[in-house]
Each structure stands twice: as structure tokens, then as C-alpha cells.
Amino acid sequence: MTLRVGMLTSGGDAQGLNSTMRGVGRALLNAEQEVKILGFLNGYHGLMHSSYRHMTDIDFAGILTLGGTILGTSRQPFKLVNDPLYENEPEGITKLEAMIQTYDDLSLDALVVLGGGGTQKTANLLSENGLNVIHLPKTIDNDLSGTDRTFGFQSAVNIATEVIDGIHTTATSHGRVFIVELMGNKVGWLALHAGVASGADVILIPEIPYDPIKVVQALQDRERGKKRFSIIAIAEGAISVEESKMPKDEFEELRKGSNSVAYHLQDQLEALMIQEIRVCVPGHFQRGGTPSAFDRILTTEIGVEAANAVLEGDFGIMIGVKGRELVRVPLKKVAGQVNYVTLDDPVLLAARKMGIFFGD
């Protein structure tokens, strides 16, 4: 019997999508059982509209080091999954129904889905509706529960570290304060790890609301210690203590005018001190380019383990990593849960002992 396996990449891209698909594809095509792989184009959009192509051995050649995703991706918000597929047919088929229909029409035996938190929630819903789904944890944010690491994270840390390293030299020459804003959505993993790896002086993350006055004091302490420059690594989701107490609508109103959190912090700090502050926002650059060696190995392992699970008929799971072990985590246990930086995180604690200031 030939196994028919669908595969797709969904949500924001990250390094390691292609290398993961290579792991899945090679291991499946090398298996004793005959396997056909159907790659859906542009994430769940392709599954909804039955837009796919057959993937053979040649599709997985030369993509280990390639950034982005050869299948394309799109954002399909989970909250819209029960909306009509076509806006002009409000009573017609829903997005969820369309995905199930494609899976049935193509007689799929399994669906391997690469994506982050939103993708995972839809994967879980499809699994609850009887589809044989395996989710592979991709995101530069590292914000998925049930796994120590998501792929893409380490590559993004490397890029963000290089950015801050570069900023360090110019900040030193000019004796300036620099704010570098890093991605990470609502969690601070990327800012924490890149900040520690690059020797940032202040790291501000959403999990620890910051006090702007204390940040200024920390910068002034450095000046008094004859350190002519300071680097602040701030996660895009960071908030001040005052903001953390505001109702959501008031907070959104406050932030509406400012470009992003780094510029907001610049305004806050400049109101409190007379010093040149510069901002650097590397943005999507952090998601670009080739996966790091770490991510190439991790994604190869995860991809092969996903193929093992398909061949064993083990579904409704995410392939995660705990310590040095790969783990199969039930999707229903982790879908929708966010992995925040905890206050006893070893990297955070070490950073505090090094004198890195967290704004609290």
C-alpha cells in the first residue's frame, strides 16, 4: 500500500523550514514502504484550495542551506478557521471544512505541518476532526510549549547577536546609547539569548516590565563607571511597569502613534536624560538567510522523527525536543499554550549575576 503524505509550511517563515522538509522527505522516500508526498502551496491556503504539487527526491536536493520555504507560506489566523472560504458565499463551505475535504479528496494518510503557535492550533483542530496530523515546531520566537527549542530560533539568535556586535563598535566610537529591537512576539527568548551572547548592558523583555527611570539610572551608573556607551536589547513585546497595569485598549491607544517599542523607549528615555540615543530595528532580517549549523542538525533530527511517526501511524502530536531527546507531545496538551521566559530561567539568572540590567 502506498502512503500518501501531505506537507505544508504555515505562518511567518523561519530558517530551517526547507531543511526540516528535507529530513521528512528523504526519510519517507528512503523507507521500505512506498510513499507519495504532496506539498501544499502557501500553507493552509493550499490545503483549503487543493493547491499542491507532488514532491520527489529531486525536490529535497540542495535545500539544506536554503532559507525561506520552497512551498511558500501564508498567515491564516486560527480565529477565522470557521469563516466561509469565499467571502461572497457566506453560507458556503468553511475554511475548516475545505481543508478536511481536500484531505479526503486526495486520500491522504497523514499531514505534516510546519509552523508556530497559530499553525499548531489549527493542526490540533484538524486532528480533533479526524485528520492524521503531525506538527513540527517552527518559530524564531521559541514560544511553543512542550519543546525546549523551536527551529529557527538559534539561527535568529545568531543574526541578532551579529547585529548587536556590529552596533557595539559604532556605539563605542561615538560613546552613544543604542537601543536594538529584536523580534519575539510576546516573549523575550530572542532578546534574552542575543543580548547575553552579544554582551548587551540592558535587556528588556515582556516577562519583566521595565521602569524607565531605573533604566536611566542603570545607564548613568555605566557613565559614572567611565563606560562611554551602552547597548539596550529590547524585545518587540516589552512593556513598562506602568503599561503593564493599563487596560488593553488604553495601552493600544498609547502605543498607536509610535513606530515600535524601541522608538517608544527612546522617547521615554530622552524625556529623562540628555544623551544621544540611536535606534536599530533589524526586523525581518532576523528570519532571513540560511539556517545555522545547530538548526540544520535539529531540523534533520525533527524531520526524520516526523517520518518515523508517519510510518508508525503515530498522529495528533508535535515533535519536540527536551534536553538532548526528541519527544512526541500530544497536540491537545500544548496547543494554544505560550512558552514564556520564567524568572528562574538559567540564562536569565546568569545574566543578572553578570550585572546585566533587566529594567526591574
Enzyme catalytic residues: 141
Spatial strand order in the sheet of 35-40? 52-55, 35-40, 3-9, 110-115, 133-137, 317-322, 325-330
Question: Where does this chain touch ligand F6P (CB under 6 A) — which range of 104-112, 182-190, 192-200, 210-218?
Answer: 182-190
Interface residue with ligand F6P, options 126, 177, 183, 216 (CB under 6 A) = 183
Using CB under 6 A as the binding rule, whether residue 287 contacts ligand F6P is answered as: yes
Using CB under 6 A as the binding rule, whether residue 145 contacts ligand F6P is answered as: no
Question: How many residues are recorded in the chain?
Answer: 360
| Chain position whose Cβ is nearest to ligand F6P | 183
Using CB under 6 A as the binding rule, whether residue 295 contacts ligand F6P is answered as: no
Is the alpha carbon torsion for 141, 72, 79, 243 positive or negative? positive
Using CB under 6 A as the binding rule, whether residue 184 contacts ligand F6P is answered as: yes
How near is the Cβ of 20 to ligand F6P at its closest, in Å? 16
Q: Which of residues 254-283 bind ligand F6P (CB under 6 A)?
A: none
In whole angstroms, what is the distance from residue 78 CA to residue 74 CA?
Answer: 12
How near is the Cβ of 14 to ligand F6P at its closest, in Å? 7
DSSP secondary structure of 271-302: TT--S-EEEE--GGGGG-SPPPHHHHHHHHHH
Using CB under 6 A as the binding rule, whether residue 12 contacts ligand F6P is answered as: yes
Q: 182 with 190: CB under 8 angstroms?
A: yes
> Cβ-count burial of 324 within 10 angstroms (0-12 exposed, 13-18 middle, 19+ buried)?
exposed
Using CB under 6 A as the binding rule, whether residue 116 contacts ligand F6P is answered as: yes
Q: Which residue has the cell 529557527?
A: 152
Using CB under 6 A as the binding rule, whether residue 141 contacts ligand F6P is answered as: yes
**Cβ closest to ligand F6P, residue 183 vs residue 351:** 183
Contact residues for ligand F6P, defined by CB under 6 A: 12, 75, 116, 139-141, 183-185, 236, 287
